[in-house]
Chain A
Amino acid sequence: EIVLTQSPGTLSLSPGERATLSCRASQSVSSSYLAWYQQKPGQAPRLLIYGASSRATGIPDRFSGSGSGTDFTLTISRLEPEDFALYYCQQYGSSPRTFGQGTKVEIK
């Protein structure tokens, strides 16, 4: 099983600032099958990024993903008020499809 470790646990930033979230895998993620999701309280997760760097339909271009192998990054270039939420990475290249424990982006 591939274990995903996200850091930091909480990121305290102000609107307009840049957010950088990390996801490290315990072994290489095949073919960069790495996704990022956003979840707000009381809502289901929403797909942001897949294939490590492809934005899902309707996702603003302030969200970008990068990385390969075992190290991946989600960057939000300029935080909007609606971006303060929980973010999870997930690998879907091998079973079980594991998730990271999440990073909370909160308003400073």
Chain B
Amino acid sequence: EVQLLESGGGLVQPGESLRLSCAASGFTFSSYAMSWVRQAPGKGLEWVSAISGSGGSTYYADSVKGRFTISRDNSKNTVYLQMNSLRAEDTAVYYCAKDLRPATAPFDYWGQGTLVTVPS
């Protein structure tokens, strides 16, 4: 059974940093790209960042480029999101999500999400 378990969320002050983790199980982790998707309170979904299965390619939304860094440790089946210079508008539930297949694909599994709160 595929499971994705996020951790690391919490309350941080503007300008501070936070690292989110997503521990995966139930599939061959290194074969699949992984993404982070966020959802501000009462708002829609926003794709944040993605990383290829090998970790060699990374992608970012313009809203986080230069502040957030995605990485993965395939030996630990874990993907990370390092978030620096946090802003109030980064407040959201952050989900990690797995691609359906190794090539261009939607997200077939999502974690339960972890809440990041940055007060204004």
Contacts and interface: CB of A to CB of B under 8 A. Distances in A.
Which of A33, A50, A56 has the most chain B CB atoms inside 10 A of its CB? A50
A52 B67 CA distance: 33
Interface of A: 31, 33, 35, 37, 39, 44-47, 50, 56-57, 88, 90, 92-93, 95-102
Tell me the dominant secondary structure on chain A's binding face.
Answer: loop
B105 interface: yes
A95 B59 contact: yes
A95 B113 CA distance: 22
A26 to B, nearest CB: 16
Contacts of B1: none
Interface in B72-120: 95, 100, 104-108, 110-113
A97 B45 CA distance: 11
Nearest to A88: B45
B61 interface: yes
Contacts, number: 55
B111 A44 contact: yes
B71 interface: no
A98 B106 contact: no
Contacts of B50: 95, 97
29 contacts: A31-B104, A35-B106, A37-B45, A37-B107, A39-B45, A44-B110, A44-B112, A44-B113, A46-B110, A47-B100, A50-B100, A50-B105, A56-B100, A88-B44, A90-B47, A90-B106, A92-B104, A92-B105, A92-B106, A95-B50, A96-B47, A96-B62, A97-B35, A97-B47, A97-B50, A99-B45, A101-B44, A102-B44, A102-B45
A45 B45 contact: yes
Contacts of A101: 44
